[in-house]
Chain A
Amino acid sequence: MATQNKEPGPDDILRPILNTSKWYYVAFGAASAVVVVFLAAWSYQLENGLIVTNLGDWGSGGGVTWGMYIGAFIWWVGIAHGGIILSAAVRLFGMDKYQPVARMAELLTLGALSMAGMYIVIHTGRPDRLVLSVIPSYPWTVQSSPLAWDITVITLYFVMTATYLGLTLRYDIYRLRDRLPDHFDLLYRFILIGYSEKEDKIIERMVWWLALGIIVMAPLLLHGGVIPWLFSVLPSMPGWSGAIQGPQFLTIALTSAISGVIILSYVCRWAYDWQHVFTDEMFRGLTKWLGLFGLLFVWLQLQQIINGVFAADVAAEQVMVAKLEQPVYIIAMGTMVVVLGYIFAQALDKRVFSLNRSLVASIAVLYATLSEKILFVVEGLQYPQFDLYANVPGTYIPSPVELASLAGTLALCTLFFLVIIKLFPVVELHAVEGHDDGDGGGDGGDEEVTA
């Protein structure tokens, strides 16, 4: 790729804002169409109730209570939390090689968190009451309900990420203001309120501290704690309970987020000729990280399998055996093994690496994590401790309305990116300025830079 040696500059990061190709319209149109279908399906649900899903009552009822909505919810939260951890790590440890994707990861966090929030609304039977019911009881429920904790951290992380993004955006917008389109002037002026160049140093410190906060809190407040506690604290569902869920959720979050970032950067690189911004080297690095976290994910699955089948009690064994016999699970884990095979082969031999293969691997990983999460929710509920009922395990296959929500949130998230990419640079000015110093693109530039 000849263009790779070109120095990236502000022109590159402004290109998406100033130029619009026909593919942009195609993507926008397609995503909007899917969103319309999803909205239609959702209105159908709002009109008739959750009976349009294939969910049911566990127990005598023969169904499962939570299904794809909750599975997809934790998947989106996972991507979001992984994204913010990634970007924080880049800033905290000065991993310059990945700086071009830092903002992308933050945007992914915002998009994914919004989708997770949306799933809460889709999932509940009475979304009309959400605000009026949740707020007045909050001082009490926050003490005991993991669901209230979830709502809290989702809000908290949305605010933190937006702050983070806002702070770093000011630097860029101030410097690129004359070249940004005037029709968004109001937006830019809003972002720049009270800006002066003197603040840059302070902001840099603030961002560093925020990053530190995010990393430190990750195990507890993000996918390592609050989200898995939704399940792991319930002793009556042996498929869920247990302290391993924290680490398991966290590795899945990181695996999914890296995949998401790889996919997004791949598309941008293709669309805007960013070979010199998102270098092959960077993709190789991301692929390696994907391998590391993917390995942790598979390792923790193995831990659970061994614990579930080797002399476990009746209920725990039943759920594990069922899981191992479930084709969806076998496919998901098989996919992970193949992906890991590729990643380690390319680590050993550079020639095995290709951008397209990494893209396929990322898509496969996202499929595997999503299906694992949905299965985790469903099978947990199918194999409760109290399984005397003939209708336990209950049956569940997502209904078209539920599937539409998945397509719909994916499309919405795409739309979110398509809009954002027109508003401000999705790659930081710092990232392309840094290359001016002459250390860009090369090998091993990241290790020595750690603070």
Chain B
Amino acid sequence: MSTDESTDNDEPRHPYETDESFHPMGKEWEDQMREELEETDYDADLGMEMAKDAQRLVAGEISEKEFYQSYHDDVQEEFEVDDRPLFEDLDGVDPSDFDDDQSMFEALKDIDLEADDVSRRDMMKKMGAGAAFLTYGAYATQQNGRSDEVPQLVENLQTKEKNREHRWGMVIDLERCDGCLSCVSGCINENGTSTGANWMYVFAYVNEDTDQANFLVRPCQHCSNAPCEKVCPVRARHTREKDGLVLTNYETCIGCRYCQVACPYGVNYFQWGEPDTDLSELEHLEMRPEKVRSMDFDERKEALQTAAEDGDHIYDERGWWTDSRPPTGVMGKCTMCPSRQDDHTESPQGTVACQDACDEAGMSAIHFGDLEDEDSRPNRYLRKRSENVEENDRHFNDEDVVEGEDPDMWESTTNWGRLSSFKLLEDLNTQPNITYLGNEPGPNDKQVDPAEIREDPEKLDTPVSYEDLTGQDRWGNQVVDNRKEHLDYGPSGPPEEEA
């Protein structure tokens, strides 16, 4: 069976069907389905036809039996099989369950199509294209039956998965951090951020009960379900589809600061006044952003790579101005260094400036990389660390086994062995891409006030204060902890002797 335009006229139309598209999620979605199907070795027309009828099935216009009968032969021919192994390999779906009173769509619904860690592309490979055709039907079922669970932004649903190549994130080992602030300085050096806009912020906090000091290393969490992105009235704050970086388009942001309000972590820093680092120091391309965007991909890549020799890294590969410090009146925050991830700079893809600085300082607490990639640095680090912990456990077990006691009771219960790990404010469903190793701050814990430490260095043994970092980056920018005190000087800045 192949698509035949004329049949459209005779068939009853699905309620969602418009001239443009049969799919409730619209033409764009439909085109994308086709594109994906065409990438497989199977018949895309057949797939589209099946998906379309799946819509009718969902609307109750045809029965499952009819639906199945009409495709039986086609499916057999296409996949050269007798036993319709559509669901081979799929966990939780048994082809033999598949009869009139057991809905296959019900079964398909059980597959977690929106699971973050499985891309649709992978799923298709795993399932075989035939099942993938039906999966589109399942999307339709989902759309109908539980419409509230389908993400509102169709665009997000499709593109995020479709073009996703990486999912950048970090594993930060707080047990290795001693508060040297090298990463903070490294970030300022890379991005030229203004005084007090500490995109990377490291601070000591004490636990009320134990008086034990811990450090928290706090970049932007690059949430997979970022509230800051949802609230932006102009889509300046967005998630880059290719790799999940949450970025701000510095050219469209209107400076309403709603993202800053909605972010639960307080990682945003608005550019209240003139930036400390002049644009002429950051950019040598001498092109308007529109010009950069209008180039084709290769041309742009070349131009940006050339510019990187001058230290430029303000455009990402789309030609969007999202990197380095923001201009006046625009929101900034940790970017996870997109120009590096696009391979425009001398520094390799998969690295960030704060991690480099931390490594250089000999601490290696920050581990940046592709969280989807088993062999990326953060994943390898996690494995290694949990092995070490298990090793210790075993050691401990061997010595301490008591007769009659189940030695397995020491078996780890968390994902990474007994390694204590956490994500910040996970309850809020932001799905952060930073995983911490170490102690999670409790509800009554509080940062040790840096102002107090300055007055009384005995109070806490921190090697460096923010003020000490002044002038250490290549821009010679002033660094402070409490930005408000600095902003209070107004547009003319602090009096000379203090600067």
Contact = CB atoms under 8 A, between A and B. Distances in A.
Contact of A49 (B216, B272, B448): B272
Given A63-B484, A314-B443, A134 B254 contact: yes
B270 A65 contact: yes
B157 interface: no
Given A126-B254, A137-B235, A143-B153, A49 B328 contact: yes
B267 interface: yes
Main SS class of interface, A: loop
A368 to B, nearest CB: 25
Interface string A219-259: 00000000000000011110000000000000000000000
Nearest to B260: A65
Contact of B263 (A51, A54, A129, A236): A236
Contact of B272 (A56, A126, A132): A56
Interface in A125-184: 125-127, 129-130, 132-134, 137, 140-141, 143-148, 151
B124 interface: no
A390 B448 contact: yes
Contacts of A61: 196-197, 266, 269, 482-484
Interface stretch (A100-108, A346-354, A379-387, A441-449): A379-387
A220 B78 CA distance: 53
A386 B424 contact: yes
Contacts of B482: 60-62, 391
Contact of B258 (A63, A137, A147, A385): A147
A31 interface: no
Contacts of B252: 129, 132-133, 137
A58 interface: yes
Interface stretch (B125-133, B285-293, B342-350, B487-495): B487-495
A60 B270 contact: no
Interface stretch (B166-174, B226-234, B311-319): B226-234
B361 interface: no
Nearest to B466: A60
Main SS class of interface, B: loop
Contacts of B260: 57-58, 65
Given A56-B484, A124-B254, A126-B253, A144 B230 contact: yes
A234 B227 contact: yes
B194 to A, nearest CB: 10
B54 interface: no
Interface in A426-450: none
A390 B450 contact: yes
A51 B487 contact: yes
Q: Which of A54, A144, A392 gathers most chain B CB within 10 Å?
A: A144
Contacts of B331: 125
B441 interface: yes
B488 to A, nearest CB: 7
B233 A125 contact: no
Contact of B262 (A57, A133, A236): A236
Contacts of B443: 314-315
Interface stretch (B92-100, B109-117, B198-206, B392-400): B198-206
A34 interface: no
A208 to B, nearest CB: 35
B85 interface: no
A263 interface: no
Contacts of B445: 388
B428 interface: yes
Q: Which of B232, B271, B274 gathers most chain A CB within 10 Å?
A: B232
A59 interface: yes
Interface in B380-420: none
5 contacts: A51-B273, A65-B270, A129-B254, A132-B252, A386-B424
Given A51-B272, A127-B254, A141-B233, 11 more contacts: A49-B329, A56-B484, A58-B260, A62-B485, A65-B261, A124-B255, A126-B330, A129-B252, A145-B233, A388-B446, A391-B481
